[in-house]
Amino acid sequence: MKKYALILAAGKGTRMRTELPKCAFPILKKPMISYIMENIEKSTIDETCVIVGHKKEVLENILGDKVLYAYQAEQLGTGHAVLAAEPVLGDKEGVTFILPGDMPLMEYPLMDKILRSHEEMGNDLTIVTMVMEYPKTYGRIVRDEYGLVTAIVEENDCNETQKLIKEVNSSVYVVNNKLLFEYVKKIKRNERKGEYYLTDIVKLMHQEHKVNTFIVRNPMVTMGINDLYGISIAEKYLRDSINKSHMLNGVSMVNPETITISHNAIIEPGVWIYPNSVILGNSIIKAGAIIGPNAEVNDSIIHEKAEIRHSIVKDSEVGENTTVGPFAHLRNHAIIGKDNRVGNFVEIKNSTTGEHTKAAHLIYIGDSEVGKNVNFGCGSVTVNYDGVKKHKTIIGDDVFIGCNVNLVAPIKIEDNVFIAAGSTVTEDVPKGSLAIARNKQINKADYAKHLIKAKE
176-223: pLDDT as tens digits: 998 999 999 999 887 777 888 899 999 999 989 999 999 999 989 998
Q: With pLDDT > 90 as the criterion, what percentage of the chain qualifies?
A: 78
Under the banding of pLDDT at 50, 70 and 90, the label for residue 20 is confident
Cα dihedral sign, 221-226-231-232: negative
Q: What is the DSSP string of 222-252?
A: GPPP-SHHHHHHHHHHHHHHHHHHHHHTT-E
Of 214-218, 222-226, 369-373, 450-454, where does mean pLDDT reach its minimum? 450-454
* Residues counted in the chain: 456
Q: For the residues 14-22, what does the mean pLDDT come to?
A: 80
Q: For the residues 276-286, what does the mean pLDDT come to?
A: 96
Contact status, residue 88 vs residue 49, Cβ threshold 8 Å: yes
Q: Choosing from 54, 118, 361, 450, which is the catalytic residue?
A: 361
Please tell me which residue, 237 or 450, carries the higher pLDDT value: 237
Q: For the residues 335-359, what does the mean pLDDT come to?
A: 98
Residue 135 reports pLDDT greater than 90: no
Under the banding of pLDDT at 50, 70 and 90, the label for residue 19 is confident
Alpha-carbon distance of 433 to 415, in angstroms, equals 9
Does 361 participate in catalysis according to the annotation? yes
For position 120, what pLDDT does the model report?
94
pLDDT in tens, 423-444: 999 999 999 999 999 988 888 8
pLDDT in tens, 88-119: 998 889 999 999 999 999 999 999 999 999 99
pLDDT in tens, 317-330: 999 999 999 999 99
Residue 332 reports pLDDT greater than 70: yes
Q: What is the DSSP string of 92-126?
A: --SEEEEEETT-TT--HHHHHHHHHHHHHTT-SEE
Alpha-carbon distance of 56 to 51, in angstroms, equals 9
For position 430, what pLDDT does the model report?
97
3-state secondary structure of 140: strand
What is the identity of the amino acid at 352? T
For position 407, what pLDDT does the model report?
97
For position 451, what pLDDT does the model report?
67
Q: Count CA atoms within 13 Å of residue 449 on its CB side.
A: 2
Please tell me which residue, 247 or 89, carries the higher pLDDT value: 247
pLDDT in tens, 60-75: 999 999 999 999 888 7
Residue 376 reports pLDDT greater than 80: yes
For position 282, what pLDDT does the model report?
94
Residue 13 reports pLDDT greater than 80: no
Contact status, residue 273 vs residue 251, Cβ threshold 8 Å: yes
Neighbours of 169 (CB within 10 A): 23
Alpha-carbon distance of 335 to 352, in angstroms, equals 5
- pTM of the predicted model, to two decimals? 0.84
Residue 29 reports pLDDT greater than 90: no
Q: For the residues 124-145, what does the mean pLDDT come to?
A: 91
For position 145, what pLDDT does the model report?
87
3-state secondary structure of 143: strand
Under the banding of pLDDT at 50, 70 and 90, the label for residue 14 is confident
